[in-house]
Structure 1
Amino acid sequence: MIRIRAALAAAASALLLAACGGGGGSDASGDGPTPVKVSVIPIVDVAPIYLGDRQGFFAEQGLKLELVSAQGGAAIVPAVVSGQVDFGFSNYTSLIIAKSKGLPLKVVAPGAGSTGVRGKDFGGVVVKSGSPIRSARDLAGKRVAVNTLNNINDTTVRASIRAAGGDAENVRFTELAFPDMLAALDKGNVDAVQVVEPFLATALKSGGRLVASNYVDTAPDLTVAGYFTSEKTAAAKPELVKRFTAAMQKSLKYATGNPDAVRKILGTYTKIDPSLTGSLTLPTYPAQVNRASLQTLSTLAVQDGLITKAPDVGELLP
């Protein structure tokens, strides 16, 4: 929790500086395409933006993308607020936490959602083949790796534990980047890992065993993540936001209709073994955010002590 507060405080300070001296955001000027910087995470969720760039959807809108990789949404929020990047990709819990702290954020496009099918989702909790952990209930008291502490993955893992009748209060979460999790699991440094694709397919091929589909257990048709900007950028550059949103919507639709292209594009920005692409479980790429599922994430954030008061999630949405 301390790391999140520090990051949000730094973002607020950076926002004040940006208000005085201008940020690092792009603007439409000149005859060439407008440069636009977007911070993303190297996971299957963001395949549509890579596909859309390759298909020319952003160029059609007069945009030239620069994609910047980050570990998680909690780190991307300050970069967007301070103007280091124009747009960011984040899970909605990060955005809910930021909004509760008064940070001025606005969602501009959906990103990825759960399939809603237990055992066949794009994210889940995995243990070693010989582990005594057989279900989410058995995670109580165990060491579980998540990519960012006090965020969507530990709150949804807790939701899985509660749904299975277990005690979610004493789980010991460890923060690890997705690429480092499987080695930590293999060495016994953690008892379980919460991973998303392409790391989930890698874990299962290596002998791991799925014990929970935490996104499915949390809410029906959970909208997991999306693209956002700062309220300052939204107000100052509405045309830029409009064009980015239009390109993202076309990219999401294309990804939904072309799953093989999604699997293929992963090799350009992740280190996935090409032999695994066919076994990946893809997320949904919804055209709209499921507001009810955001409300569930907000309720969980309060319940698990990430925030003290739930923000109006409607203020985050377009």
Structure 2
Amino acid sequence: MRPRHFRRRELLALTGLTTLAAATTAAGCGRASGREGVPADTIRYQGWAGTVTPAELAEDLGYLDGLSLKWVGNTTSGPQDIQAAAAGDTDFGGAFNGAVVKMAAAKAPVKAVISYYGVDKERFSGFYVRENSPIRTARDLIGRKVAMNTLGAHAEAMLDTYLKREGLSIEEADQVERIALPPVNTEQSLRKGHIDVAVLGDILRDKALEHGGLRALTDDHRLLGTFSAGTYVMADRYLEQHPRQARAFVTGVGRALDWSRRTPRDEVVDRMVRIVRRRDRSEDTAPLRYWRSYGVADPVGRIAPDELSLWVRWLERRGDIKADRVYIPDIYTNRFNTNRLDKAPVPTPARDRSGS
């Protein structure tokens, strides 16, 4: 019998697929066209508190070619965000590519249209333990608790990759307990000994390291190099009915991503702070001072097929999707991204995924 926590993971995966199937049914019944009263050049979306997304940056830079964004609230997670897009409650949503693949396996009528976040030497999540922890290797994680923001998503994929790379069998990896914790509580839980390992990224990572007393086991960038990890998706029906708006949106986001790469970091951060203050949602701008990069690997956010196929293999190994359930060319498209590729050079993504 598998450990109790692994059965819980399977239940979460099944629940996620059920939710995606419900979103698929809703979209198929016409909810993806639920834009009554919404002007054609208005794009509805969900945001993140205290964060400026590439889409929001693109609008502020004037790159959306006459489109305007309409904020309908903040999302609770990537999977929820893309489910909202599939159901027609918003016009685009973004999530970890593994969640996008899972949605494709559930036959939701959506397509990934542009990468919007990733991992590079500036933007990554790490697996941290207390300085005096006896945990030194992947094998030391057997029987230990690893806390992350969401099960079955980016952090757990990185954990599975690390354990496999370090030679743990499936049975041994199953004995590493995965715990879902709100990111703002994770550092404190680690320091109090309630968990053994904390997955920390961006501002939470930097602030935790400033406090001292922690060390890293590994991180995303050490494991897989530079790669795009998440994409924006749009419902097929939206793409069919509003191709001009889709092109303007995707192309504008791609331009904004490249602007953020070639512009001095302080200038990018200052602009983000102004954006957050202008939208007046009672948000703290302090976290923006820790912004370093969106981490997108390819120029203008173009999607590379191996950034999706990597997670197909991972989900198949976990048993979350059946083999041959998804066909990669059906999951994504770059045709709405009309940006030229002869722009300023960007970091070359690491394409060796053989150990994942």
Q: CA deviation at 1:290?
A: 2.9
Q: CA deviation at 1:87?
A: 0.3
Task: Choose from 57, 63, 70 the match for 2:63.
Answer: 57
- Paired residue for 2:22? 13
The one-letter code sitting in structure 1 at the alignment partner of 2:160 is R
User: Which consecutive residues of structure 2, in runs of 5 or more, have no partner in the other structure?
Assistant: 1-9, 334-356
- Give the TM-score normalised by the residue count of structure 2: 0.76
Task: Choose from 165, 189, 209 the match for 1:163.
Answer: 165
User: Which consecutive residues of structure 1, in runs of 5 or more, have no partner in the other structure?
Assistant: none
Task: Choose from 325, 328, 331 the match for 1:316.
Answer: 331
Q: CA deviation at 1:21?
A: 5.1
1:3-42 map, 5 Å = 3-20=12-29, 22-23=31-32, 25-26=34-35, 34-41=41-48
Larger Rg: 2
2-structure distance, mates of 1:91, 1:317: 13
Task: Choose from 287, 294, 304 the match for 2:318.
Answer: 304
2-structure distance, mates of 1:281, 1:134: 28
**Is the Cα–Cα contact under 8 Å of residues 71 and 177 in structure 1 kept in the other structure?**
no
Q: CA deviation at 1:191?
A: 1.1
**Is the Cα–Cα contact under 8 Å of residues 124 and 220 in structure 2 kept in the other structure?**
no
- Paired residue for 2:252? 247
Number of residue pairs matched? 308
Q: Over residues 170-221 of structure 1, what are the superposed CA-to-partner deviations in whole Å (9 max), with x where a residue is unaligned?
A: 211111232232222223221112222122212211223221113541x343
Structure 1 SS opposite 2:88: coil
Q: Over residues 97-150 of structure 1, what are the superposed CA-to-partner deviations in whole Å (9 max), with x where a residue is unaligned?
A: 1111212220111112221x5xx6521112223222234443333211121111
**Is the Cα–Cα contact under 8 Å of residues 25 and 83 in structure 1 kept in the other structure?**
yes
- Paired residue for 1:233? 238
Change (3 A) 1:95 1:202: same
Q: Percent identity?
A: 20
**Is the Cα–Cα contact under 8 Å of residues 33 and 238 in structure 2 kept in the other structure?**
no
- Paired residue for 2:266? 260
The one-letter code sitting in structure 2 at the alignment partner of 1:176 is L
- Give the TM-score normalised by the residue count of structure 1: 0.84
**Coordinate RMSD, CA, aligned:** 2.9
- Paired residue for 2:354? none
1-structure distance, mates of 2:242, 2:148: 35
Change (3 A) 1:21 1:231: closer
- Paired residue for 1:277? 289
Task: Choose from 182, 189, 206 the match for 1:184.
Answer: 189
1-structure distance, mates of 2:69, 2:126: 34
Task: Choose from 298, 306, 312 the match for 1:292.
Answer: 306
Q: Does 1:197 align with 2:202?
A: yes
**Is the Cα–Cα contact under 8 Å of residues 26 and 34 in structure 1 kept in the other structure?**
no
